[in-house]
Structures are given as structure tokens and as C-alpha cells.
Structure 1
Amino acid sequence: MRAALLVALALAASPALAGEERSAGTVSVIGHAQSETAPDFASIEIGVEAKAATPGDALDGTNAAARKLIALAAEFGVPEGEIGTTAVNLQPVTRMVRQPDGTAVEKPDGYRAANQVRIRLADIGKLGDLMRRALDAGANRIEGISFGLKDPDAAQAALRVAAVKDALTQASLLAEAAGVKLGPVISIQSPPREERAPMAFAAPMRAKARGGAPVPLVAGSIAASAEVAAVFAVVP
């Protein structure tokens, strides 16, 4: 973790502290902490799309592949709770037909159905193989891939602790440089910060290849930060 600090030091007279020591002022600091953590899961949305003359045939064209996707996820050790259907779509399709007089009219052209499944995979190293096997099972759409942390709150809590330690270290250095003694903490505030979202790849594509090599993927890292504003008393 890297730490940066903005500081402000005030040495004006102030009321007495508890006991016999009198405050010589305050030292205000903003402690920062940053981290880059490797993700511990990947989430991918894979689907199949089919077109047919009737609604039933269009849905049937996606159902078999969707069942194979769910079975494939289980084969990769994905728990049932980490597999879910995110979309089932069925809509009529039309096409433009040019008439002898040169005008174009819209004519019915069957139905298009789609079934999309989200899979959350803990073993990120198997993601490329899962994607290739999904294509072999009949999938023809990959809607997006994202990487994340199973317990982001724990990671953020650790960053806040590091930010408080950073604030204490910097306040101690400032007090020593000013020739005063660092007193008790007066206040600590941890303002909310906008965190950087996990790296995501969301480029929809239609896949036709079969029996090829696993898809190459790099998970990267997840950047996060925290800061606290702290005010300490100083005594002579």
C-alpha cells in the first residue's frame, strides 16, 4: 500500500485538556491508503440466440444450448447458487421487401429467441476453457465478463485501518518536528469515497468457432482506496 498525506498544523492556544497538561493546539491530517488486489472470482454472461419460423421452434433452438451451459457450469464446479438465468427473450422478426413499384414494405420473417446465463467462477484460471467449452455446447453470444472480490467490505475495512495508521504516523512526525508532544485524538472522520469499479470486459459478440483453444484472458487487479481525516491535540 502506498500512502500520501495532506497536513495542516495549528499551534494556537486552546482550552485545558483533562489532567494538568494544557493543549498547545492541534494537528490535522488526512491519511490515505491504496491497494491493488487480484480478483477472486469472474462473472460471465453467456447466451444463445436462434431464429425460426414459429415462436416454439425459436425457443426450442435456445433451450437445448441453455441446458448444456448450466450443466457445463456444474461440471466446472460452480455451485448452483452461482448460476442464474439473466434473460429469456422472444420477439417477432421482420424484413423489408421491395415492391414492383419501388416502395418497400415490412414483412414478417419468423421469430428470434435468446437465452442468457450468468456464471460466477471462483477458479479464474479456468475461465478461458469454460468460454471455449460453452461455444462448443452451442452458445453464440458472450455479453460481458467482469472480475471482483467476494468480500469487498473486508478489503475496504483493512484500507481504513491502514489510513488511520497513516494519519497517526504523519501526525507524530509533525508533532516531533514542531517540538511538541502528540496528544489524544480529537476526531476521526472517514468520508465515503467513490471506488474504482472492477475491471470488466463487456463487448457483446457472436461466436461461430468450434473446437478451438481456450480464450486468452487476463484478470488484472482491482484498485481501491480509503482516507480518514483526523485531528489530534498537541501538548508542550
Structure 2
Amino acid sequence: MLVRGEVVREVPPEIARFSVTVAARDKNRPAALSRLAERSEAVRALVDGYGDAIDRRETGDLWVRPELKRSGEKVTGYAGSATTIVTVTDFGILGELMLRLADQDQTTVAGPWWELRPNSPVHREARQAAVAEAITRAREYADALGAEVTALLHLSDAGLTAQQPMMMTRAAHTMGYRAAGGAPPELELDPQVQTVQATIEAGFAISPPRLASE
């Protein structure tokens, strides 16, 4: 007997990621590079100020390029940007942090992306529930035949996925806010539910069916 065990769970996210990109532009190359370094360091200092609420801070894309006239190779200036990926575990500070970063000069904030950790116990629990579901189905089928499940012949993992809402996989929310003065406004973010699905296929041996005849 071959049966499938499938379980779908909706669970709260465990981490949130967002990106911070700072840009700089100047006719003078050293000035552009210096400005880019200063703005990048300001991002690092602001993020690090949140201590244990931050899971990690990682450098993403970094680029610097000369800007040319429409024709020819004459350099008119230099532009660059640096991106930092921030992973947050304390969702209570997430909105505040993102707005404070968006309040910096020439800074773009994108996200958040809500996720589960790769080693989250939710994945293990879903797999175990899928196995239990397969055993339950096998016993129900055997009972309908007047038989009993006697042995497990094979078990295969058809996959486990953590699905995010489509709106978050297509594009990120971006912020380019700049306050007119004072502290940035408060922003409360609602964590997006994560869908975890586990599927297994199992083959069972059953005793000879006791089929009733009428």
C-alpha cells in the first residue's frame, strides 16, 4: 500500500531581513568615495546601536563607477552605492530602525522580508506530522479492507517548503523618507505568516484483507 502524508502549517516568522543602500556622487573621485564610506559607516553605527535585537549585519552589493558624457569618454563625475543586509529578531524595533535608516542622507531602505530560520524546529515538526499523517491514512485504508498495517516498506521525502506571500517575493517595499525635522514618525509593521508544507510518501505492508461478501 502506497500513501502520501502531507501537512501544511501556518506559523509566525522568526526573523526579518531588509536592505539599506547608501549612495554618493561627486565630480571629484576621492570626495565621492569618502562620502560613500562615511554614509556606510553611519549605517553600521546606527544598526549596531540596537545590540541583541540585530541577528546579523552583512555587506551586499558595492559599486563605484565614473559618469561619462553622452558621447565620448570624458568623465564628468563619480557615483557609487553600498548595500547592507540587516537581519532582525526583535520585531518591536523593526519599524523604528527602518525609518531611522531611511532618514539618513541619500539612503534607500527596502523590505522587510519575513522568514523562518533554516534550522527552525517548525520544519522538523512538520516532517514528523507528515509521517504521522501517512501512518493514519494507511491504517484507515487497511481498516476499510478489514486488514491491519504490519510493516513499513519504504519512506521517501517528497519535500519541505516554506512559502512566503507572493507580494513579498515579487518586490520589496522601499522607503526614501526624509524628515522635515525632529524624529521620524513611528511605523508599526505586521509580521507576515509563513506557510510550511511537508510531504512524504510511504509504502506499507498489510495483512490479508478480510473482505465481507454479500
The answer to whether 1:228 aligns with 2:200 is: yes
**Residues 23-172 of structure 1: matches in 2 within 5 Å?**
27-78=1-52, 82-96=56-70, 108-138=75-105, 140-152=107-119, 154-172=121-139
**Letter aligned with residue 17 of structure 2:** S
Identity among equivalent positions (%) equals: 24
Instruction: Give the 3-state SS of the residue equivalent to 2:158 in structure 1.
Output: coil
For structure 2, the residue ranges without an aligned partner over 5 or more in a row are 209-214
TM-score of the pair, normalised by structure 2? 0.82
TM-fit CA distance, 1:129: 0.6
CA contact (8 A) 2:67 2:76 kept: yes
Q: How far does the alpha carbon of each residue in 1:161-184 deviate from its partner, in whole angstroms, 9 at most, with x for none? A: 111100111111111111112211
How far apart in 2 are the matches of 1:206 and 1:122? 20
The answer to whether 1:219 aligns with 2:202 is: no
TM-score of the pair, normalised by structure 1? 0.75
TM-fit CA distance, 1:205: 4.7
CA contact (8 A) 2:53 2:89 kept: no
How far apart in 2 are the matches of 1:180 and 1:206? 62
How far apart in 2 are the matches of 1:120 and 1:30? 36
Instruction: Give the 3-state SS of the residue equivalent to 1:217 in structure 2.
Output: coil
The answer to whether 1:182 aligns with 2:156 is: no
For structure 1, the residue ranges without an aligned partner over 5 or more in a row are 1-26, 97-103
Q: How far does the alpha carbon of each residue in 1:188-229 deviate from its partner, in whole angstroms, 9 at most, with x for none? A: 111235553574574475624124313453321221211111
How far apart in 2 are the matches of 1:175 and 1:212? 64
How far apart in 1 are the matches of 2:56 and 2:151? 48
Q: How far does the alpha carbon of each residue in 1:108-149 deviate from its partner, in whole angstroms, 9 at most, with x for none? A: 321112122111111122111101111233352124432212
TM-fit CA distance, 1:152: 4.0
Change (3 A) 1:194 1:220: closer
Within the candidate set 198, 201, 209, 2:178 is matched to 209
TM-fit CA distance, 1:156: 2.2
User: 48-57 or 212-221, which moves further after superposition?
Assistant: 212-221
User: 38-47 or 84-93, which moves further after superposition?
Assistant: 84-93
CA RMSD of aligned residues (A): 2.6
Matched residues, number: 203
How far apart in 1 are the matches of 2:119 and 2:7? 15
After TM superposition, where is structure 1 displaced by more than 6 Å over at least 4 residues in a row?
Answer: none
User: 173-182 or 191-200, which moves further after superposition?
Assistant: 191-200
Instruction: Give the 3-state SS of the residue equivalent to 1:233 in structure 2.
Output: strand
Instruction: Give the 3-state SS of the residue equivalent to 1:230 in structure 2.
Output: strand
